[in-house]
Structure 1
């Protein structure tokens, strides 16, 4: 093991909380950047400064909490960390803190560092009384597989100034892994000094924790590096301390799919104990559940006789996974065991005024891909359109060969809610998750049946927020069902990142009166009657002093979904409250079902039957349930009871309820039919005729439909079992046949219809092949090589579909296409997959070199290029032409860009292979028939573009897409053009009868009213349009012309079709809500520029920074523009940037512009610095 320094202190003082520090004077603290007060977590939650990876140190009555600085932009999907800050307090419980921003800048302290990747560090005090900051930062050395290394800075005081204590990294990849290309990042250091003076350096990431000894100098390692066993679920961030002879190690715990971390992008805090600093370690359990952030990075420290735990969240204003904030809570002990810690919040979500009732709903789904996605993400209150990670989303990904067409999300509430709108954000990725083809919202009615909401329209755009309004309903459950997009025999997945449900606001909230004896805590009602509905209430905590003597006091409560204000309960201590009259009315019982429903009452999944009771007087009742003729099971103090039913076939569930007055309801029953087995489906090819005989059956619920289509395009066509489906033409095809039973189960099968004898292939033949590869990353797709819909050579990124990639593999990789028949080909195009610049040396990068080969028997040969070159285009297809070859397989053999794992792997977006053109022999391709999509739409016939083939519809020559009547019967014929002849046996005629959708006499489209916002005085207004066949109303009254919108008020306009008219297919009600918010008429405040200067080493490869101070007002935001010799640098808009070699010799300046909401911008420009020096090791020619 390398030792960077060999000096050993003669006398070692123990650096623990129990040991006196050396008496040497501590350096005076620099002034704080700012002082602030907080009411709770996050410590600094206003969004002005984001910090993470807390590492506390208690010194002379002050708690110093060191942390990394998250600087990522709001929608940035990765870490941006360049410096460290410090939070200090005398007492965390006081809420009084100081912030020392930019306390350690690795780019200025460590000459060997790039200034990037300032991840979780740790500060401790050495035996010499100095303070040592162990900082994992990016190393300048680009020859190692991972450049993160641990440096050491030293200072006489806990707040600096800091200098490099070693002059080079203390610990690097090569120190830990030697020449190996596999390992884990060298990050998250923690230093512990034991009572005997021995010092240990711990670190760990990606599931492996390690430890090595440190010399007393604190700047050199000693002994061998050891891995640490016994840490169940360890992911990263070890933190070691000692208490009363027991050693503790806290860490980030992760087990994807577990209750604590349903996603593998989440972490909890666990700990282990040991009899010594080197173990052996025994796992003791989880002490803090997953926070809102993907990691937590724990620390536990004693300060002034109390113990504290730190972690981080994304709960600050505009926070995110890459904009985290430090939190701190007190630790309680039970002997030598740490008691579980419940994270606290300054802004307790239980008391937020919001109309979003989804936050307190119970979420369910028909299926969840968990991990990495999570069901609980849909109502966690985190709404963001980008920079999302898998735990921020629910998704139904089952693989790229799933034929499951629909899945649902469901919310249920203990008490009915009244709602008329929802908000939702849909998501897509670069692989199999796509926008839904359609979706619908349903509510559970009073009888327990699902009904579609009325008046809604359903947008499907992804990564933006949608608000969907509908006619208000009162319900205990909402369900959103999503239909995926078809692709061939399979169905794309969908994902949702947030789904909100908005309660209709009450006119007033009731007052509550409660009586309690002196000394007895009042029993506040868990729900109150708001109008006709029970509404749950969260009450503020009550201080026992308030009911210690006779009198009255009030308690504030938040009613679910009511955002206008809080309600008040008056508590009479020692008094009484009128109990009201006698209750003689029995409860009302409903029996409702939740599951994946089909037709005729059948379900394709196990069913949850909810027996619920509602009573005017008793919020909770005794609910009894039974299945079939079984015994009654009673559940006291219940709002509902869920009865699971999984038995195949029919089951009957019955429920009844008894209220507090003894009134018993009438029993209510519901019969549930369950069939979870898929139907059978068959498709048998007749090789001679190329026709396919199809069949389907279902043993329990019965067959609902048997359908087929070719190549994943056009309409699904219904057919009877035993029918014969002819091939549409002489070319190869994939025939997909699917069967659906009444329960909604589906099964499909695919038959490859071979190339007809004598047929001539044209165009891109790659989709006819079976792709195979040397390796495919788990999240990529082999079929992504050939699944695009691009025309030949069409550089449209929206059409290439999924992709194939090999990260993190390097070296030689190959992709192969194999046909079941001979193909003669003479050209190709490959669209390389590259997601980072070459110089970044990571991710997927176009290969350094590649070659195209064909298979001749059992031998591979390079093709002979006749045009083009083996290029590296990742913005579109790289075309090549070659001497024609007849073969059954082609392959690309590529040499990766990277030499070490993860430094640049091979990937392909799409691969096209062109058939060699024959001399005048052509084969017609079948047209595509598409039914009318809407009531006023037309059916379409799409004619393929085949050289040498002419097409006609009913005798009239046509090309492209032709519109025909929605119920037309058309005959399409094909013939050879002059100079061409058709291949033997070619299909030349296709007849198709379209089925028109049921349409009203006249279809009209409502137009939205035009809203004019209020000026500084006066109301707003909206202009109601005049549209034939459309009636507009406001508050139930007819509306036309100009309608005023009172200042601060909301007006909802509803449109419905008149008799004889209808809106396009979908909801037959449209509504728009307009709010006249009072405008801000205050005069704009001007930005007052402060100072700006360029700091850092103006040298090639080093990082310079715009340092500012004195800008006003305090919340002003700053934008940066950098210049070299007066010329603006394109794309350089950050606070700092690394100087490229192209700027050697240039003078640098930066212009800073202050801006913000309601502010008049102003700018200031720095003095020039430079000229830029060459990289270290070079000489100035004029020196």
Structure 2
């Protein structure tokens, strides 16, 4: 490896190596003006969506915490990082909520002449050198295009923690070549962290993609020394090492990832773990996870001590309009148990547990018949995040099992601890470029009182992808909802489905009940876990209670969020030292239901293991003792439960019985359910008679019995039911693929496929590509060779929803080929190619239409290839639809496309194809219609269009009326386009002649309005008596304010000691900014202390410690009255107040040399009249100790 040059002279370098540790710290340069100052109530630190930041790296300097971070600038739907510069957040006290932002503090494009500035300013870190200067280690893109990966670590330097910054080296400190030499295998050189050990030695750590490394730095901070080494012992390491030392133990925090684990079910997620070691170089011992995954895919941890307290930073996507590429920094305090870091619970300014919402899915337990996990996740469907920004796999549930799955349906299920009443749901589907498509159909079912599944009534089910759908139905009361999705068929196989969010909306109660609770003085009140709302048990999240509220007799109120009730908060009145009416005797027994959940079929059969839920509901007791029994086995009791789940996996029939007893001793009757399980697939057979081209089909099932045997040809049309032993004849002499499917009563399916060969003398017509076998020069692991010809597009139909999977060759470049081979001769004269391109040409990565290409056919000799002779079209690069070419007819058994990639180096633009069609020569007068193009309205007030192709011999009509050219229709029109042959022409066999399309009109956007906070006037004392409080709702266009469901008009009285909640909602045609569409504020009229105020009696204040540069002095106070008085401090130098120094300690800086110091203490507190006292002066401040003395001193 190269050792970076040392910027200072040789002599200076020698002095640094021998005496640097004894030098005093240099004065810190004054901070520049902040871009903005703001106050936050919690995480994320800056969450209003005006500035997105990530990859936090904190540094504590002279009482200020500097949090350095990258700047996320990606657009809402941009699926990649856009990071051009770095910013800094600063505070003196994270608990204060007061922060400054210094945006664009370091721009690598301006500081590093060797950097490209192409939006890859990844996670960096700032540390202080022994020379007092500040060094920013920034991984940015190098302008050297000869290395496999151009990310390199640069070093910027400054006299102060906020710049200005200059390049400290003049070239990268660490590059791919330094780490991997000439090898093309390795990991990005990113995520640096520099740690200075207690002995003054400095180490650089970095790591990504599962490998952490370290190397020692010279004391100059700008050159490496010694060998690079990998770091073992970091279980689950993914990236972002951060090293620190505490009380002799070394800690390394990092992004932890194990796809499919409980913490990271998706391989796109990360948690925070740490390891410990006896030295900065290890050996490291894994200690566990301390913070679970956040809403972002990565977390990038850092841990730092600031003013005697420890803090951890990370990032989330919790800011307004945030996303995986629009992240925001968060900070929480770290607690210790000896040398062990305790698990960190992330905090939020807007705690979702108390957010008013009618979406009860947030509190449901989600289940699925199957989840592709990783990379997708089940928990994504009710995590509260709609798809407002670019999605990644962990944002979705999906049932992808591969492109050869015949599994037709899968379900998602929500289960609640207590019944909910709902009449609507919301959902969003997604598709990808591979096998995930919109569902063919779907249905919502609810579990009734008997535990059986019933379809909801009155619902319609839209299936469009990438759009939010709200589905309403007749309200039901249930403990579970299930949505079952039917995938789209393609041949013998079924496409997958993906859902990003599924919301369930509670019917709103007319009113919320009053809650009264009694508790002894000094004992925390026991607030009810659930209350009766509208006759149903409704779980409640209560706000925390301050111990001071129950320290003495009296009453106070507590707010709680009742699940699904968005109009207002529930209010509990707590009587401290009092009693409440316990109510009458309970003589009613609980009601028990026994319900089965699994993949259900017919006649009570299930095709999966089953979870049997025994649930109890009681009018008086929210929790009961539930007993369960399987078959004739013993009873098993579970106390304090709403339900008990009993797993059943035994094949055949199993009986589960349940009963419950409430707190009063009332016992229910026994309720039983018989569960039938058959997880085995039926058998299916199909035998081809080559001579007659007929197929004999069969099927059977040994347990639940055969329910259906069906067949269809070429994945088209309806399935045809037959009996076992039936003989199925091919419909014509053309080649066909016959799919036979057997289904048992439990719902298990099995399929088999038979290729029916071309009949003697048959004339091929239309697109003959599906009859061929595709092969290629190379196929990326996540693409499909079969994607070349798996689409359902009509000839030349530019419909991206129909091209199926795709073929791609990334990261290969150069010449690539795709070939179609037939088992028989074909005579063809035309082709359509839809090129696969996912980035602009200038970006030169991913998949890009080829620089050039040619179509060739195989000679009859079986080895020689010839270029076709084009008669129409050209070898174009269309990636928005098919690129058509015509050529002189050829008879062959193989065609191939030979393409030259757009890119020239690995990882640059590679070749890919969405779909490839090949047309047979048509007899004179035979025509094949080309599909029309459907273009939706560009805006909600515009019109949609249907573009009719110009095909000789083909006439088109819309709803029976002949049309040509471009036809305008309503933005939400449903149209049917038909094609027929003109006089003197005839349609090719099998030609598509009808296209049906329903346009979806764009929604007119609501006017965005922001609710304003009502004005609250607290109670005041009049003649020694406290009066009521009051509030006034502001007047904001498009916003309605309500109190207890009624409009808040004029002045609203808030009774003394009472609480009034005001709720704001947007009116029709208006909307709040992204997020909850309701805001609530609770105003409590606390009684003021009307007694005469007590004055603070000042005690003494004096300065202790040595008034010398580099030392810390402290204010010592005694005899201040009354007890509990709080003190604030102000420090002065020669009578001039020192800005920003408000604690009881002062670090003496060089700027204070020669000054006389004083400190003023001010006593304050609730109900107290403040008073102050000033210390005697100390000083003047003496120079810093040089660390050595001359012999005669």
Cα deviation 1:464-491 (Å, max 9, x = unaligned): 1111111111111111111111111111
Deviates more, 1:873-882 or 1:31-40: 873-882
Contact 2:27 2:1149 in 1 (8 A): no
CA apart distance, 1:1022: 33
State the TM-score, normalizing by the size of structure 2.
0.77
Does the 8 A contact of 2:320 with 2:1074 survive in 1?
no
- CA distance change for structure 1 residues 743 and 465 in 2, over 3 Å: closer, same or farther? same
- 2:670 maps to what in 1? 667
Is the contact made by 1:810 and 1:905 (CA closer than 8 Å) also made in structure 2?
Answer: yes
Give, in whole Å, the separation in 1 of the partners of 2:974 and 2:172: 78
Match of 2:890, SS state, is strand
**1:1109 aligns to what?**
1118
Q: Secondary structure at the match of 2:765?
A: coil
For residues 390-447 of structure 1, the C-alpha deviation after alignment (integer angstroms, 9 at most, x for no partner) is 1111111111111111111111111111111111111112221111111111111111
Q: Would the aligned equivalents of 2:356 and 2:1078 in 1 still touch at CA under 8 Å?
A: no
The 8 Å contact of residues 1098 and 1172 in structure 1, kept in 2 or not, is answered as yes
Q: Are the equivalent residues in 2 in contact too, given 1:261–1:290 (CA < 8 A)? A: yes
Alignment check: 8 A CA contact 1:967 1:993 kept: yes
> Structure 2 vs 1, CA of residues 448 and 1136 (structure 1 numbering), >3 Å: closer, same or farther?
farther
* Shift of residue 122, structure 1, vs aligned partner: 0.5
* Pair 1:628–1:152, CA change in 2 (3 A): same
Q: Structure 1 511/894 Cα, relative in aligned 2: closer, same or farther at 3 Å?
A: same
1:585·1:663 contact (CA, 8 Å) conserved in 2?
yes
Query: Residue deviations 1:630-677, cap 9 Å, x none?
Result: 111111111000011111111111000011111111000011111111
The correspondence for 1:390, drawn from 384, 389, 393, is: 393
* Cα distance between partner residues in 2 of 1:1127 and 1:824: 97
Give the root-mean-square deviation of aligned CA atoms: 15.1
Seen in structure 2, the aligned counterparts of structure 1 residues 446 and 683 have a Cα distance that, compared at 3 Å, is same
Work out whether residues 932 and 997 of structure 1, in 8 Å CA contact, stay in contact via their aligned partners in 2: yes
| Further displaced range: 1163-1172 or 781-790 | 1163-1172
Q: Cα deviation per residue 1:1070-1104 (whole Å; 9 max; x = unaligned)?
A: 99999999999999999999999999999999999
Which residue matches 1:1079?
1088
CA deviations over 1:984-1023 (Å, ceiling 9, x no partner): 9999999999999999999999999999999999999999
Q: Per the alignment, do residues 456 and 1071 of structure 1 end up closer, same or farther by CA in structure 2, a change over 3 Å counting?
A: farther
Deviates more, 1:768-777 or 1:1164-1173: 1164-1173
Q: Is the 8 A contact 2:299 2:315 kept in 1?
A: yes
In 2: Cα distance, 1:364 partner to 1:33 partner: 47
SS of 1:203's equivalent?
A: strand
CA distance in 1, matches of 2:630, 2:954: 67
Paired with 1:252 and 1:176, the residues of 2 have a C-alpha distance of 21
User: By how many angstroms is 1:1042 displaced?
Assistant: 33
Cα deviations by residue, 1:507-543 (Å, 9 ceiling, x for unpaired): 2211222222233222211111113111111112222
Q: What CA deviation, in whole Å up to 9, does each residue of 1:909-933 have, x standing for no partner? A: 1122233456899999999999999
Inter-CA distance 917–459: structure 2 relative to 1 (3 Å threshold): closer
Counterpart of 2:244 in 1: which secondary structure?
A: strand
Instruction: Using the TM superposition, name which of 74-83 and 998-1007 deviates more.
Output: 998-1007
CA contact (8 A) 1:936 1:1003 kept: no
| TM-aligned CA deviation for residue 208 of structure 1 | 2.0
Q: Is the 8 A contact 2:773 2:821 kept in 1?
A: yes
Contact 2:806–2:912 at 8 Å: present in 1 too?
A: yes
Contact 1:114 1:1103 in 2 (8 A): no
Tell which deviates more after alignment, 524-533 or 18-27.
Answer: 18-27
Name the CA distance, whole Å, in 1 between partners of 2:328 and 2:81.
13
Q: Secondary structure at the match of 2:695?
A: strand
Higher mean displacement: 239-248 or 1052-1061:
1052-1061
Render the CA deviation track for 1:100-122: whole Å, top value 9, x for unaligned.
Answer: 11211222222232333321110
Residues 325-344 of structure 1 aligned to structure 2 (within 5 Å):
325-344=328-347
Where does residue 449 of structure 2 map in the other structure?
Answer: 446
Cα gap change, 1:441/1:1054 in structure 2, threshold over 3 Å: closer, same or farther? farther
- Please report how far the alpha carbon of residue 547 of structure 1 lies from its aligned counterpart in structure 2 after TM superposition: 2.6
Whether the 8 Å CA contact 1:9–1:217 is kept in 2: the answer is no
CA distance in 1, matches of 2:796, 2:1153: 41
Bigger CA drift: 1135-1144 or 1032-1041?
Answer: 1135-1144
| Residues 730 and 924, structure 1, Cα contact 8 Å, conserved in 2 | no
Separation in 2 of the partners of 1:895 and 1:1096?
Answer: 77
If the length of structure 1 is used for normalisation, what is the TM-score?
A: 0.78
* Secondary structure at the counterpart of residue 791 of structure 1: coil
- Of the structure 1 ranges 964-973 and 218-227, higher mean CA displacement relative to structure 2 is found in 964-973
For the Cα contact (< 8 Å) 2:362–2:382, is it kept in 1?
yes
Farther-moved stretch of structure 1 (268-277 vs 490-499): 268-277
Range moving further from structure 2, 986-995 or 430-439: 986-995
Distance 1:32 1:1110 in 2: 41
The 3 A distance-change label for structure 1 pair 781 and 661 is same
1:289 offset after TM fit, Å? 0.3
1:385/1:758 Cα in 2 relative to 1: closer, same or farther (>3 Å)? farther
Q: Is the 8 A contact 1:455 1:470 kept in 2?
A: yes
Q: Is this contact kept in 1: 2:797–2:930, CA < 8 A?
A: no
CA distance 1:254–1:1036, shift in 2 (3 Å) = closer
Shift in Å at residue 358 of structure 1?
0.8
Partner-residue secondary structure (3-state), 2:11: coil
Instruction: Count how many residue pairs are aligned between Structure 1 and Structure 2.
Output: 1182
Cα 1:1158–1:731 shift into 2, 3 Å: farther
Would the alpha carbon gap of residues 49 and 481 (structure 1) be closer, same or farther in structure 2, given more than 3 Å must change? same
Alpha-carbon distance, 1:774 to partner:
3.0
Residue 236 of structure 1: how far off its partner (Å): 1.3
Gaps of at least 5 residues in structure 2 are: none
- Distance in 1 between residues matched to 2:792 and 2:846, nearest whole Å: 26
After superposition, the Cα gap between the structure-2 partners of 1:683 and 1:1164, relative to the gap in structure 1 and judged at 3 Å, is farther
C-alpha separation in 2, matches of 1:1130 and 1:944: 76
Moved more, 1038-1047 or 437-446: 1038-1047
Query: Offset of 1:785 from its aligned partner?
Result: 0.4
Deviations 1:40-64 (A, max 9, x none): 2111122222111100001111110
Q: Deviations over 1:166-210 (max 9, x none)?
A: 222222333333444443222211111222322222222222222
Contact 1:540 1:557 in 2 (8 A): yes
Moved more, 608-617 or 1051-1060: 1051-1060
Distance 2:926 2:1146 in 1: 61
What's the CA shift for 1:718? Answer: 1.4
Q: 1:1014 to 1:532 in 2, by over 3 A?
A: same
Residue matched to 2:892: 887
Structure 1 residues 939 and 334: alpha-carbon distance in aligned structure 2, compared to 1, 3 A threshold: closer
Moved more, 235-244 or 963-972: 963-972
Q: Which moved more, 1:912-921 or 1:666-675?
A: 912-921
- Residues 221-245 of structure 1: CA deviation (Å, up to 9, x unaligned): 2333333222221111111112222
Contact residue 568 and residue 1080 of structure 2 kept, 8 A: no
- Cα distance in 1 for residues equivalent to 2:369 and 2:1101: 57
Deviates more, 1:531-540 or 1:621-630: 531-540
Residue matched to 1:292: 295
Structure 2 distance, partners of 1:881, 1:1115, is 92
Could you tell me how far 1:304 is from its partner in structure 2? 1.4
- Cα deviation for residue 764 of structure 1 reads 2.2
Q: Residue deviations 1:1115-1171, cap 9 Å, x none?
A: 999999999999999999999999999999999999999999999999999999999
Q: Which stretch of structure 1 is more off in the superposition, 63-72 or 788-797?
A: 788-797
Q: State whether residues 831 and 919 of structure 2, in contact with CA within 8 Å, keep that contact through their aligned partners in structure 1.
A: yes
1:894 positional shift: 3.2
Match of 2:358 in 1: 355
Moved more, 933-942 or 119-128: 933-942
CA distance 1:429–1:1123, change in 2 (3 Å): farther
Tell me the distance in 2 between the aligned counterparts of 1:926 and 1:696. Answer: 39
Kept after mapping to 2: 8 A contact 1:16/1:195: no
> What is the alpha-carbon distance in structure 2 between the residues aligned to residue 478 and residue 292 of structure 1?
26
Contact preservation (8 Å) 1:932, 1:939: yes
* TM-superposed deviation, 1:350: 1.1
- Structure-2 change in CA distance of 1:1115 and 1:720 (3 Å): farther
Partner Cα distance (1:671, 1:679) in 2: 23
Change (3 A) 1:987 1:569: closer
Contact 2:439 2:497 in 1 (8 A): yes
String of CA shifts for 1:308-361, please: whole Å, max 9, x gaps.
Answer: 110001111221111111111111222222121111112111111111111111
How many angstroms apart in 2 are the aligned matches of 1:431 and 1:606? 30
